[in-house]
Amino acid sequence: MISDDFRSSLSSQPTKLLVTGGTGFLGGAIMARLLETPLWENSRFLVRGATAAVGAERLRETLRKFAVDEAKIAKLQVDQVICGDLADVQSFENDPRLGSVDVVINSAAVTSFGKHPQIWPVNSEGTAAFAAAVHKHGNLRRFVQVGTAMAVGPRPENPVLEIAEPGVDVRHLVDYTASKIEGERRLRALPGLPLVVTRPSIVVGHSKLGCAPSGSIFWVFRMGMKMRAFMCPLDAHIDVIPVDYAAEAVIHLALKPALAHDLYHISAGPLGSCSFREIDHAVAPVMKRLPISDFRHLPYEGFVAMQGQFKEFFGPCNRRLMLLAIKLYGGFAGLGMVFDNTRLLAEGVRPAPRFDSYAALCQQTSMGISIADQMLPDFK
């Protein structure tokens, strides 16, 4: 993904990098990728923990999820950890190590699709306060904000172009996406902040590890296949990327000396998006069945009527939570939105692997966990 000349320049980059969200899915993938580069020794990680040692162990546990070798994990030193929480920036804003940082990758966020009480304090207010705390030292040359492509809300155009300000009257399906666009607005309001916004589309699985690091969102596809029904047609397309691709693209945009824009989709785009039919064809052999031929496109009310069968489909589960998941994720899927990635490709990032090229691996690595359990982290 990273060009050879850019890769060779990494060792000479004087970058002092600060990464947030290292215990999360995308943040963990970013950290695992950095561990393979000369940038690692000059990287610092903001993480919640009573002590730096506790924070370091949380980061090590995340690296293990990405199958990182223990010898490499041992390279993480306690002095690389800055203890802090974006919900309480005052507790760490005077840490002297912030003064040496010149590039920030902010992937920390509350990603729940539920009503988590910290969504707004972290994703909006805390994100802006954190950026201001680093920026005030005067050494910052790039602040990379990891947002979400769905922060623009439902759009009539397809593919969706990079839009810095989608408008204040956008109807958001969940607080998460609303809080992320508000966070972007607050960052853009900070005078002189060298901001670059990255908006990944739907991040599902890992192209080499499947759902071993996290089954986030993949349960949606499992759910639709089990019911042989969902709130979109089988030939509807969905813009999905693996977490390792998203991580490399974010790092690329963080470190490339000059960028043409300050806002990028990290997405499969119109050419790389898959239909649900193509995804089903990819996973059917792993499930030892034929591709679905009796799929039903139903409105939400159809699933309400089916809730008596949920135990048959999913095993023991919370019907109310399952219906909420169907309503929210079915609503997203029904939009059929794909996200233009022209800007990203022009910066030298290769196209994302298609979801149907690694969906079978996601299915295979999900076999030991129920759909009800796999979905819980997305509603924490």
Say which residues have a Cβ less than 8 Å from residue 62's Cβ, sequence separation at least 6: 22, 23, 24, 27, 28, 31
pLDDT at 7: 53
Cα 73 to its chain centre, rounded Å, is: 22
pLDDT at 9: 44
pLDDT at 155: 84
Which two three-digit tokens encode residue 148?
């979400």
Count of beta carbons in the 10 Å neighbourhood of residue 128? 22
pLDDT at 173: 84
pLDDT at 304: 97
Q: Which domains does the chain possess?
A: 4-216+239-272+338-353 (3.40.50.720)
Of the candidates 270, 278, 279, the residue with the CA atom closest to the CA atom of residue 158: 270
Burial class (CB in 10 A: 0-12, 13-18, 19+), 238: buried
Per DSSP, the three-state class of 237 is strand
Region of 232 please: left (phi>0), alpha (psi -120 to 50) or beta: beta
Residue by residue, pLDDT tens for the chain (380 residues) are 444 444 544 545 568 999 999 999 999 999 999 999 999 999 999 999 999 999 999 999 999 999 999 999 999 999 999 999 999 999 999 999 999 999 999 999 999 887 889 999 999 999 999 999 999 999 999 999 999 999 998 888 899 999 988 877 788 888 999 999 999 999 999 999 999 999 999 999 999 999 999 999 999 999 999 999 999 999 999 999 999 999 999 999 999 999 999 999 999 999 999 999 999 999 999 999 999 999 999 999 999 999 999 999 999 999 999 999 999 999 888 889 999 999 999 999 999 999 999 999 999 999 999 999 999 999 88
Tell me the HSE value of 365 on the side-chain side, using a 13 A CA sphere: 20
Cis peptide before 159 (omega within 30 of 0): yes
Total residue length of the chain:
380
pLDDT at 271: 96
pLDDT at 380: 80
Per DSSP, the three-state class of 276 is helix
DSSP assignment string, 143-167: EEEE--GGGG-S-SSSSBPP-S---
pLDDT at 14: 62
Question: Which residue bears the tokens 């759902």?
Answer: 211
